[in-house]
Homo-oligomer: A and B are copies of this chain.
Amino acid sequence: MSPDTTEEIMVATYRALCEHGYADLTMQDIADESDKSKAALHYHYDSKQALLEAFQEFIFERFFERVEAADDSTDHPAARLGAVLDAALSPPDADGLRDIQTALLEFRAQAPYVPAYRERLAESDARFRSLIEDILAAGVESGVFDADIEPAETAGFVATTLAGHQLRQVSLGQSPSETRRLLRRHVESSLVVDEEVAEQ
């Protein structure tokens, strides 16, 4: 399959999920959002399940492109942390954001039933926590972050807060900016040694 075809099918899946939600999604819904027929989709993906697994991978790749670009945009550990949190909380397409978050949450709620979802979630989670842990360790090393913090544990705390954001955005309408403010406050009060340099 050409990269363009993959991209087109993934974008169609994204739109169909926003429109119909995870539970009700059909291959026809996805076909309706692309210029492919349902038969053509089945030519590329054996089953709706296989397509959804590819979509999960696609979403994670986009997520890491975004957060890793943010991480590379600066060298200062506190600024790196701020940029990564901004990127993690601000998908570029704010339109239909709550719809896609809802579909992704339904997706994630299926993890106990679908081993492939679970494995990919665990991989993605380990990769994200490792990125945060690296930033925190670099900050402890350079004296920007408190020497008493435990980078792996704090990375787990950040990942838990971001998961809480995902759930609360969908179920309670919590805004990314509200969560960002809570995390900024946490970084300032618990992590950085000198608030003046926090998230320059």
Of A2-10, A47-55, A161-169, which stretch is located at the interface?
A161-169
Q: Which residues of B contact A171 (CB under 8 A)?
A: 108-109, 111-112, 118, 121
The one of B157, B163, B172 in contact with A186, judged by C-beta atoms closer than 8 angstroms, is B157
Q: Given A21-B113, A106-B109, are A156 and B178 also a contact pair (CB < 8 Å)?
A: yes
A141-200, CB < 8 A from B: 148-150, 153, 156-157, 159-168, 170-172, 174, 178-179, 181-182, 185-186, 189-190
Say yes or no for A105: interface residue by CB 8 A criterion: yes
Q: Which residues of B contact A40 (CB under 8 A)?
A: none
- Counting every copy of the chain, the complex holds 2
Give chain A's interface residue range (CB within 8 Å of chain B): 35 or more
Residues on A lying within 8 angstroms of B by beta carbon are 21, 23, 98, 102, 105-106, 108-109, 111-113, 118, 121-122, 125, 148-150, 153, 156-157, 159-168, 170-172, 174, 178-179, 181-182, 185-186, 189-190
